[in-house]
Amino acid sequence: MELTLFNSLTRRAEPFTPVHEGEARVYTCGPTVYNYPHIGNMRAYVFADVLGRTLSYKGYKLTHVINITDVGHLTDDADDGEDKMERMAAAQKQSIWDIAEHYKQAYWADVRALNIRQPAQWTVATDYVPQMIAFAEGIAAKHCYELDSGLYFDVSTVADYGRLARAQTDDGEGRIEAVEGKRNAADFAIWRKTPPGEKRQMEWDSPWGKGAPGWHLECSVMSGAVLGFPFDIHTGGIDHREIHHPNEIAQNQAHCCTNGLDDAANSGAKVWMHNNFLVERSGKMSKSSGEFLRLQLLIDKGYHPLAYRLLCLQAHYRSELEFSWEGLGAALTRLKRLVMAVERLKNAAKDSAKSDGGTTWTEKWLETFDLAIADDLNTSTALVTAEQLIDHKKIPAADRIRALEDFDSVLGLDLLNLTRADLRIRPKSAEITEAEIEATLAARKEARAAKDFARSDALRDELAAKGVEVMDGDPLGWEWKLG
């Protein structure tokens, strides 16, 4: 089945046609490492991961790049306000480098926990500053002007600025013009000068004086440097469709034209893809709220991180997804059911051990799965297909497992390795250890076998007092759960 992907540039689903035959080159806007990512941010990387896995599944040689922004991202995407990294470093009384390292590691921990595959390359912005200066020098004469505060990109110098956002160049949306001397409200800094008499922790010499690169410049430079213009797909969250990506496109256009790729519509990447937001009503996703929703909070409350991945896969990446604890609980139950079904399937495969060598039955399931995933990554239908296949008793268990392995290479739920025990995460607040629970349950089993029901009940009460609910006869096969 031909892979079709929704291109935000054209607002249409289009067949994927790679720039380089047999290859897929993808750039994903990565995190600004000034704080922990919230689970909404992680939805953007789960989406990019599913995209990458799908491209691999469809046989393309994938080169995926994700950047780490450790400089230059201001508190306002339209290039106003303070540098997010500098502000956090000052608040925590640490160096920017330490802040960047700490939050980069925290982000990578979430990436691993969500079974997001490692990209071919993580590009770190501060490693590319000389290339950023060279890029800016290349487009400065034709497309930029200098103010006291920095070098600005004049958006009126490129054709059709803002076509990605469907925005007007004259900025009918009323973006605040905070910098005196800007020619157009949408103009943005590609180099920010250090104010006279100040010293920044991160600053570099440039033809425009000491300073730091603008955030939009970073992504243009890193994507072009590693993947080459034009490359195939650029991804990010839907908010980037409004400012960050239109600005990247304007720079790419300027750069490509100057460098002989003389096509006014050249956007750097052929396809721009955006995931919609994870939303939450109480505002806990805001990083400024005390206990915001980060993956570790979910784990601390006893939810396996892959339940969150499943929650993401249940929705289409282009629709908004509302987070709730009930929804996460339901996703965990669904994951448990899947894991138990796979365990049964594995046992059945051991018993029969016979495959009928890739029956047409299996082929049909692979086709159904392919149809879903090739249709702009319809993961919710793909999931149902996986569940139906597991239950399809007519197909030999070994063949079902083989097909499931294929499916999971896209879904990334680790279905063939996860065990029920893995899914049982002890909430941080619980004081009893798993070993203690298991030992007490074993003693209770012995008591029941010896028909000593008084002792059995006492042990059950003992566990209840420590917050452990014993689940005799649970249809999901769980022996206990922490309240």
Interface residues with Zn ion (CB under 5 A)? 29, 219
Out of 5, 6, 9, 41, which residue is the one contacting ligand AMP (CB under 6 A)? 41
List beta partners, residue 271. 233
Least separation in angstroms between CB 259 and Zn ion = 21
430's CB contacts (< 8 A; 6+ apart) are: 302, 466, 467, 468, 482
CA distance 408 to 383: 9
219 binds, among ligand AMP, Zn ion, none (CB under 5 to 8 A by kind): Zn ion
Name the segment binding ligand AMP (CB under 6 A); options: 19-27, 234-242, 386-394, 427-435. 234-242
Q: Which is nearer to ligand AMP, 277 or 478 (CB)?
A: 277
Out of 237, 268, 305, 412, which residue is the one contacting ligand AMP (CB under 6 A)? 237
Is residue 123 a contact point for ligand AMP (CB under 6 A)? Answer: no
Is residue 67 a contact point for ligand AMP (CB under 6 A)? Answer: no
Is residue 459 a contact point for ligand AMP (CB under 6 A)? Answer: no
239 binds, among Zn ion, ligand AMP, none (CB under 5 to 8 A by kind): ligand AMP
285 binds, among ligand AMP, Zn ion, none (CB under 5 to 8 A by kind): ligand AMP
Least separation in angstroms between CB 39 and ligand AMP = 8
- In the numeric block, which tokens belong to residue 351? 């018993």
Least separation in angstroms between CB 4 and ligand AMP = 22
Per-residue exposure over 106-115, b if at least 16 CB sit within 10 Å of its own CB, e if not: bbbebbebbb
213 binds, among ligand AMP, Zn ion, none (CB under 5 to 8 A by kind): none
Q: Which is nearer to ligand AMP, 73 or 182 (CB)?
A: 73
CA distance 480 to 483: 10
Cα 171-175-176 angle, rounded to 5 deg: 130
CA distance 18 to 21: 6
CA distance 156 to 184: 8
Is residue 32 a contact point for ligand AMP (CB under 6 A)? Answer: yes
Q: Which is nearer to Zn ion, 157 or 251 (CB)?
A: 251
Is residue 239 a contact point for ligand AMP (CB under 6 A)? Answer: yes
Least separation in angstroms between CB 51 and Zn ion = 16
Quick one: which H or E segment has residue 463? helix 453-465
31 binds, among Zn ion, ligand AMP, none (CB under 5 to 8 A by kind): ligand AMP
Out of 186, 285, 349, 437, which residue is the one contacting ligand AMP (CB under 6 A)? 285
CA distance 97 to 104: 10
Is residue 240 a contact point for ligand AMP (CB under 6 A)? Answer: yes
Q: Which is nearer to ligand AMP, 51 or 345 (CB)?
A: 51
Write the CA distances from 375 to 74, 363, 369, 479, 480, integer angstroms. 36, 18, 10, 40, 40
Site string for ligand AMP, 188-227 (x = CB under 6 A): ----------------------------------------
Name the segment binding ligand AMP (CB under 6 A); options: 25-33, 89-97, 155-163, 191-199. 25-33
Under 8 Å between Cβ of 119 and 52:
yes
Is residue 119 a contact point for ligand AMP (CB under 6 A)? Answer: no
Is residue 31 a contact point for ligand AMP (CB under 6 A)? Answer: yes
CA distance 305 to 39: 10
CA distance 335 to 422: 11
CA distance 306 to 383: 14
3-state secondary structure 18-55: CCCCCEEEEEECCCECCCCCCHHHHHHHHHHHHHHHHH
Name the segment binding ligand AMP (CB under 6 A); options: 36-44, 141-149, 222-230, 346-354. 36-44
Least separation in angstroms between CB 312 and ligand AMP = 9
Out of 5, 26, 29, 273, which residue is the one contacting ligand AMP (CB under 6 A)? 29
CA distance 89 to 91: 5
- What values do phi and psi take at 339, rounded to 5? -65, -40
Out of 24, 26, 44, 257, which residue is the one contacting ligand AMP (CB under 6 A)? 44
Under 8 Å between Cβ of 318 and 458:
no
Is residue 40 a contact point for ligand AMP (CB under 6 A)? Answer: yes
Name the segment binding ligand AMP (CB under 6 A); options: 4-12, 174-182, 232-240, 299-307. 232-240
Is residue 236 a contact point for ligand AMP (CB under 6 A)? Answer: yes
Q: Which is nearer to ligand AMP, 154 or 242 (CB)?
A: 242
- In the numeric block, which tokens belong to residue 278? 């994870």
Least separation in angstroms between CB 244 and Zn ion = 6
Is residue 277 a contact point for ligand AMP (CB under 6 A)? Answer: yes
Is residue 278 a contact point for ligand AMP (CB under 6 A)? Answer: yes
The three-class DSSP label of residue 275 is: strand
Per-residue exposure over 122-147, b if at least 16 CB sit within 10 Å of its own CB, e if not: bbbbbebbebbbebbeebbeebbeeb
- In the numeric block, which tokens belong to residue 118? 């490692």
List residues binding ligand AMP (CB under 6 A): 29, 31-32, 40-41, 43-44, 236-237, 239-240, 275, 277-278, 285
